[in-house]
Every structure is written in C-alpha cells, then in structure tokens.
Amino acid sequence: MFWKFDLHTSSHLEALLDKEDVTLIELMDEEDVLQECKAQNRRLLLFVCQDQCMQDLVHMITTEPPTGVEEIMRFKYPNIACELLTCDVGVINDKLGNEEPLLETLYAFLEQPSPLNPLLASFFSKTIGNLITRKTEQVISFLRRKEGFLSLVLKHIDTSAMMDVLLRLISCVEPPPLRLETLIWLNEEKLAQRLIELIHPGRDEERQSNASQTLCDIIRLSRDQANQLQEISQPDPLLTVLESQECVEQLLQNMFSAESTESCIINGIQVILTLLEIRRPRSYTVNSSILLAIQPHLIHFHQLLLEPPKRNPMLTSLGVLEEPLGNTRLHVARLVASLLYTSSASHAVVAQELCRLNTMDLLLDLFFKYTWNNFLHLQVELCVAAILRPCAHEMRLQPGLGSQEKSSPHPDPSQDQTLIETPSEPSLFQHCHLVQRILEAWEENDKIQSEGGMRRGYMGHLTRIANTVVHNLEKGPVHTQISSLITELPEDYRGRWETFVDQTLSETNRKNTIDLVKTHTCSSTVYNKDDMESPFPKELTLQQAFSDYQIQQMTANFVDQFGFNDEEFTDHDDTVFETCSKERIQPFDDDEEDIWEEKEIKFAAQTKSRNR
C-alpha cells in the first residue's frame, strides 16, 4: 500500500522552502500549495505570513492583472491568492484581520472607479466575507471607522459580489449583541432607504435588479434570525424600517413615477412579494402598515393589467402571439394572489378595493385569453383558492386596520363565520361569473377536442378550480355563503352546474386518480384532507423551499427550516411502503429449496486428516 502515500510534492515544497531566494510565485506554482496550507505546514505558513508576502497576496486579488496573456493564465495567481487568504487557517486569518495596513490595501479596492472587474470583485467579497466571519470584531470596527464604506459598496452594487458583502454583514456577525449593534449601525447609515432609492427608473437595470435582490434577501434573513434577536428583547431595526408604511410608500412612488419602466415595476413587485411572504413560524403575520401603503396603489397595478408595457409579437410553437402576456402582468397576478391570501378580516380594505376595481374579473379574462400560459393559470388558481379557502388563523382581527375592536384571546367559535366574511366571494360568483365561465370553457374545450383539436392548456388548472369550488361548497369555511350564491344562479346554469359536478367533473377526477400501475395505496394524485385545508397548493411550498435553498449559505438554521417538519413524517409512511412491497414481492414456494437456508457444514473428517 506504499503507493497511497506520495510524499514527492511535500518534499518538493520543502526543497523550495530550503532555498534562500525562493519567491511567493514559485510556491504558488506548486499544485499542492493550498492543501499544504490547510494541512498546517508550519514552514509554509511562516513564509506566507511574512508582511511582504501578505501584501503581495492582497495586491493580487485587488489589482487588475497585466493584459497580453490568455484569460485563464491572467487570473491564475489572483485566484490562488484568494484561495490562500480564505483557506480558513488561523494564522492567516489573524495576520490579515489584525494588521491594519493589510485591511487598508484590501479596502482600497472599493475606491476604484466603476465598473469593477467582476472576478476581482468576487475575490474581494470572498476575502472580506471570511474576515467578517472569523475576525468579526476587528473587521466591523475597521469598517465602521470608514465613513464612506456603505456609499462605496452601493456605488458598485451593479456588481453582484457587492450584494454578498452586505449580506455577510447582516447574517454572519456573532454573537447576537454584536449583530444587533451592526444592524443598528447599518440602519443609521440608512441602508434600507438607500437601496430603495436604487429601484428607480433613472437607474440602470442591473443596479435595480441587484438592489431588489439584496432587499429581498435582507427581509428573509432578518425574519429567519428574528428568534435569535428576541433573546436580547430588541427588534431587527432594518426589518422594522423595511416593513414601515413610509418605506413601502417610497418604493411604490418610485415604481409609478412619470417615467416608470418595466424593470423598475418588476423589481419593486419582487420586494413587495417578499414583504408579504408568510413563512415559518406560522404565527408570523404581515405587518398591517405594508397593506396600508399598498392599498392606494392597487388602481395602478390594475391599470398595468389593462395597459402593460408594449411588447413585440412572439413566435411560439403554436404560432405567433401578437400580444404576449409579459413579465409585468405575470408579476401583478402574483401580487394579487399574495394580497388575497394575506388579506384577513382586519385587512378587508385591500380585498374591498380589489373587488371595487373588479381585478379578479380581469384576471379571469386573461386566464382564458392566454390559453397556454400555465404560469398565469397557476396564479389565477391561487387567487380563487385564497378567496374560497381563507385560512382560519389568518382571519382573526389584527389591530391597526379595519375594525377598532380588540380580538379576544379566546374567541367564540360561533363568530368564525362573521370574522372571515369578505366581499370577495359574492364578487367572484356574481360579478366574475366564475361558474358560468367554467361551464362555457369546458363545453368549448369538449367541442374543440371532438373536432380533432388540441385540449386547451388551462384545463388542468380549470379542473382544480372547479374542485376547489365543489369542496368549499360542501365543507369549506365559507360553504354557507358559496351555497347561497350557487342557489342564486339562473336556473339553466344551476342545473348545468349540478350535472357537470355529478358527471363530467366526477369522471375527470376518476381518470386523474387512476394509477399507472395496479397499486391503490401509493397514489399521489388523490386529494387528501391536508391538501384541501391549505389555502394554497403545494406549488408555493416547493417555491418557498427553493427560496430557502438559495440563501442556505446565509442562514445557520437552514436544515431546520428546509421544507418540512419531522411531524409531517409518521409511521403511516412505513405502513404504505410495506403494503406496496408485499403486493410486488411474491413469497417463495415452500416446496422449493431455500438457497438462503442455513445448513450445517461438516468438515470433521477433512480436519482430522489434515491434522495428521
């Protein structure tokens, strides 16, 4: 096994270190220099940590390398230098974090004119991020003494690596008291307000996009870390500002200014959607100030559905689409779905305004107009689900909007129906004619298919919408109101609806739940009770899980919050597995010889003969 231990490289490094005139470049040319550093090679670390060597390494990652060579070779040494500086070796971290001249050289990178080299910016971000994590107090103290630090970072925010620097300051500072102190400093520097100023039609699209993404990540990270800050009884100052009515109003004013652009609107909506997210723990509710700020601007969002930014005709696999739906209208549809889900009895002003504008009717028009746009179909389905399946824990009165009455800590169950009533259900059936639209679209699709045409692209979502109506008509939290509204339908439509539910929809559901193989216990397509109780289908759960995955490097409790709870997995899953296994695995025939049966093997005679 001697070939496992190749000491040639180490010996070569030792030979280089024995030379009196050895250079840093010579050592960096060795393949295993990084591994030797991580292995705590004492002689190598003593050499690398010399003042001049450390200055050379920092200079490599912050200075544009000379041109005239291949791009791969041009950034070879800056890349190796970055890996050495961030290899998480204590003596290197101590040297870089405790020596102010080295920090000054590193900081000088931010003082370069825009645009920064994106590769060098990533080296800088990785190095300063490692120092923020490992030498927190020294680096935070150094950065706080630099008056223009935040201005320089925001100046270069068009380079995505600068977003990571800000997120490191928010998420990687320990312990909690020092983190709170850092957040207070960033808040005093008006980080949130300055990022919102960057989402403006006058800014370039890259800067707007990165500012929007940074705000979204700050909101999610701040909410994830809220439990840790509760230990010192202090709210997150950045999150408090971002959820304030003034801050949201400023963002909306930027979005709908006279020279408004599609990029500004989309990036602004992404921030608002993040503010409206209801994440774990479930007890978290959306701040009413956010909805108060949005309500006056609902008419502007409605107008965007009517008159979106102009788009050129689009060639698709089904022909030319003269007027594409566009990203703006899709984002508005997402926002409406989120608002309908968030709006509770205390936030009824938002639902009332959406009803007054007849926004849901317009979304249903778009649903049937854009036959093949399943992204839109999903959002419209979520809107209907939010109206018909309001979540009971979200329907309790919250202070600050609507009613001035205080909710009792032990509400009377008999008052539940009163608490969840909103004007959305009557509007959906009376003004939007949901039942009539379902029947007519279904009949039109049957006619097209009978003539040899293609099944309409929205039929799957239409089936689920119809099932949502039927389920909530039978036992949903607003089943009394829905039953009354169905009864008020014209007699012709009421009869057609009953026939549709009893025959057509029932047969469709039966076909959709037929297993591809002969197992009746493993079907994943049948609706279960838990699915129907959730106001949104599992799509949003998966989207949220993916969102958590994207920021996993920024949150310490990622594993605990990824998608599922331990309680969601019970012994029932094992029972299902065993049942499926028994159906597929046939037992052995008792008459046949069992090849796995233990048999007694006798070697006595042979053993004795050998002993002789």
Q: What is the pLDDT of residue 596?
A: 53
Q: Is 469 buried (19+), middle (13-18) or exposed (0-12) by CB count in 10 A? A: buried
Say if residue 4's pLDDT is above 90.
Answer: no
86-97 average pLDDT score: 94
12-31 average pLDDT score: 87
CA-CA distance, 466 to 454, in Å (whole number)?
21
Say if residue 95's pLDDT is above 70.
Answer: yes
Pick from 93, 74, 81: nearest CA to 24: 81
Task: Tell me which amino acid residue 582 is.
Answer: K
Among 13-27, 299-313, 400-414, which is the least confidently predicted range? 400-414
Q: What is the pLDDT of residue 258?
A: 78
Q: What is the mean pLDDT of the chain?
A: 80
Other beta carbons within 10 Å of 341: 23
At residue 175 the predicted structure's pLDDT band, cuts being 50, 70 and 90, is confident
Q: Which residues contact 374 (CB under 8 A, 6 or more apart)?
A: 457, 458, 461
At residue 68 the predicted structure's pLDDT band, cuts being 50, 70 and 90, is confident
Q: How does pLDDT run across 226-266, given as a tens digit for each residue?
A: 765 566 667 889 999 999 999 999 999 999 987 889 999 99
Written as six digits, the tokens of 522 are: 């493993």
Say if residue 418's pLDDT is above 50.
Answer: no
Q: What is the pLDDT of residue 510?
A: 92
Pick from 427, 430, 462, 461: nearest CA to 443: 462
Say if residue 597's pLDDT is above 70.
Answer: no
For 88, 220, 321, the CA distances from 318, given in Å and listed in that order, are 55, 39, 9
If one compares 112 and 348, the residue with the highest pLDDT of the two is 112
180-196 average pLDDT score: 95
DSSP code per residue over 460-494 = HHHHHHHHHHHHHHHHSTTHHHHHHHHHTS-HHHH
Q: What is the pLDDT of residue 345?
A: 46
Among 189-193, 505-509, 578-582, 607-611, which is the least confidently predicted range? 607-611
431 neighbors 361 (Cβ within 8 angstroms): yes
Q: What is the pLDDT of residue 230?
A: 62
Q: What is the pLDDT of residue 534?
A: 43
The H or E element spanning position 411 is none
Q: What is the pLDDT of residue 150?
A: 95
Q: What is the pLDDT of residue 167?
A: 95
176-184 average pLDDT score: 91
Written as six digits, the tokens of 281 are: 């723990």
Q: How does pLDDT run across 205-237, given as a tens digit for each residue?
A: 999 999 999 999 999 999 888 765 566 667 889
Written as six digits, the tokens of 422 are: 């909103």
Instruction: At 260, give phi and psi (nearest 5°).
Output: -55, 145
At residue 478 the predicted structure's pLDDT band, cuts being 50, 70 and 90, is confident
424 neighbors 387 (Cβ within 8 angstroms): yes
Distance of CA 8 to the CA centre of its chain: 48
| % the chain with pLDDT above 70 | 74
Q: Which residues pair with 595 in a beta bridge?
A: none
Q: Which residues pair with 236 in a beta bridge?
A: none
Pick from 301, 295, 374: nearest CA to 333: 301
Helical H segments across 225-347, by residue range: 226-229, 237-242, 245-255, 262-275, 288-294, 298-306, 326-342
265 neighbors 255 (Cβ within 8 angstroms): yes
54-79 average pLDDT score: 89
Among 128-142, 396-410, 589-603, which is the least confidently predicted range? 396-410
Pick from 24, 25, 26, 29: nearest CA to 51: 24
CA-CA distance, 140 to 125, in Å (whole number)?
15
Q: What is the pLDDT of residue 223?
A: 87
Q: How does pLDDT run across 512-567, given as a tens digit for each residue?
A: 887 655 554 444 444 444 443 444 555 555 555 555 555 444 444 434 444 444 44
Other beta carbons within 10 Å of 310: 8
At residue 423 the predicted structure's pLDDT band, cuts being 50, 70 and 90, is low
125 neighbors 164 (Cβ within 8 angstroms): yes
Verdict on whether the full-model pTM lies above 0.85? no
